[in-house]
Amino acid sequence: MLAFLRARQKEDESLGAVAQRQLEFYQALLARGIQEIQALELSQKEALRILEALNGILITPETTPLLWAGVAPRLGDEDPTVRKVRSLSPAGIWALADAAAQFWRGNREVLKEIIGEGQK
């Protein structure tokens, strides 16, 4: 992690400032990903099915790009919900992985974020 931060460090910049900037980039990526997920217009039932399918799946930086592959066996490869998940860009996949992790740590409000406030 230090090598990553140092490679992005400007002269006379603290590593804390670099880390903050990188977290802001990641936060922006997740916000775009949530917008993409909301554009799928998932129903609450579909969102819950996805989150349930992701329960117990090991989500790491290495496994996140293939998150849909964790959903497919549990819902069926041809399930329309799986096709929606599979259509997500990397930003959408990362946002879904983040949302699932939050959901299974007890943040049930993230469900509203996934489907969009006031939708379905």
| pLDDT in the model for residue 8 | 96
Residue 58 DSSP class: -
Q: Are 78 and 84 in contact (CB under 8 A)?
A: no
How many other β-carbons are positioned within 10 Å of the β-carbon of residue 71? 25
pLDDT tens per residue, range 46-78 = 999 999 999 988 888 888 888 888 889 999 988
DSSP 63-119: TGGGHHHHHHHHH-TT-HHHHHHHT--HHHHHHHHHHHHHHHTT-TTHHHHHH-TT-
In tens, the pLDDT along 86-115 reads 999 999 999 999 999 999 999 999 999 999
DSSP conformation class of 12: T
Q: Spell out the domain ranges in the chain.
A: 30-115
Q: What is the pTM of this model?
A: 0.86
Q: Are 51 and 103 in contact (CB under 8 A)?
A: yes
